[in-house]
Structure 1
Amino acid sequence: MKTLALVAILASGMSPLPTLSSAQQSGETLVKQALEECHRGRLAMDRATRLAHFQQGQILGERAVAADEGSADAHFALFCNLGELLRIDGESLTSLFGLRRMMNELDRAIEINPAHIDALSAKGTLLVKLPSILGGDAEKGEALLEHVVSRAPKAVNARLSLARVWCEHGRHQEAVTLATDALALAQTHHRFDFIPEARAVLEQLKMNAAKASHKAQF
């Protein structure tokens, strides 16, 4: 009877199981939705709205990973929302568990796709920001950011992060030039979630460059 039932299903053009393409399409849709929530959260002006977007993005990201664990984009989408939730009240670290989970998702994305530009950019940024006790490595992070910038002409975040590093190393004019490029890219490619940060970073770097130039004259 089971054999006859299966034959009847196949003969009618129906499949007893979801096809791979439909499952993949579902996963891709979830990834897109999760990333959209992350972007909307970054654009939101009030904390409650940001929190709602990132929490929804986390849920969608978790569903995307469940739908396709081997998708680098799914793990990155989840990372994006987990990271924003961690820093919703600023850059201060509030949860070691949350940090580990976020880093696990990022590392998994890179493990699946070692050429994932957004993941590499995020990894480089975290390496230069985090203290060594939490896994930070400024030298490795700078090298990774330089690699991303050389390979990805549209990588806004990597340029901003690298500009900050160069400023810390006294390379002020180079830092200003790189941040200027980052702002122009964000505006040209409508990366509205990065434009406010790019403007703020550029202004700060210009101030630092002016102070350094003033000191050099005396």
Structure 2
Amino acid sequence: MQRKKLRRKARELQEIAGIMQEFGSIPNVIPSELVRNADPIGFIEATLTKMEAPFEKLLDGFDQSLRPTLILTDPFLFWVIGVGNRRNIPVASSFPMSSTVLSVFCHVDLLSQHGHFPVDLSVDYIPGVSPLRLLDLPSFIFASNHCIFHRILDLISWIPKSQHLLLSSIYELESQDIESLKSELSIPVYTIGPAIPDLRLKTILLQVTITMNSTI
């Protein structure tokens, strides 16, 4: 009952502000954080195979007037891009790591061709990327389980199928990598860094919560 009151009050505040929003969630179909560390591969597979159907059901449940006009997703959940394309909803892939890491992902086949896996040496053949040590890259790139490697390949094959790419990088710090990605990808690429939380948001959220509680 309390949740219904909060949702109703939220709608009233949105109408006053001229903003219409509807919130929803999907069932918790992935392993609990209490056990997922024991089987990280199983957790990854669950996010890629068990969330799509409830997500589509969530989209079907929205009022037509509040139909999503854009889906923002982590491209590691590449199935979201497929959902958006089937429903003619534009998808923006927001890559959570640096543009340098994405450039390495896009050319991970070069690492394989050169036989360069976790060794303490520098490589200089990745377009747009300055020479770097392989050991400075995320360790899961070199995971012994081939599942991770194949999921990276899935990631880079799906990103061009989205309509936008957002990078959490600061352009001035990684301009060479970013320009290289722009030249290789057929979709608009935007930098939104530094992508860090604004400490003022916590205060604003607290003020909104107090306002809502005082009017219930």
Q: Is the pair's TM-score, using the shorter chain for normalization, greater than 0.5? A: no
Greater relative contact order (Cα < 8 A, sep 6+): 2
Q: Larger % of strand: which?
A: 2
Q: Larger % of helix: which?
A: 1
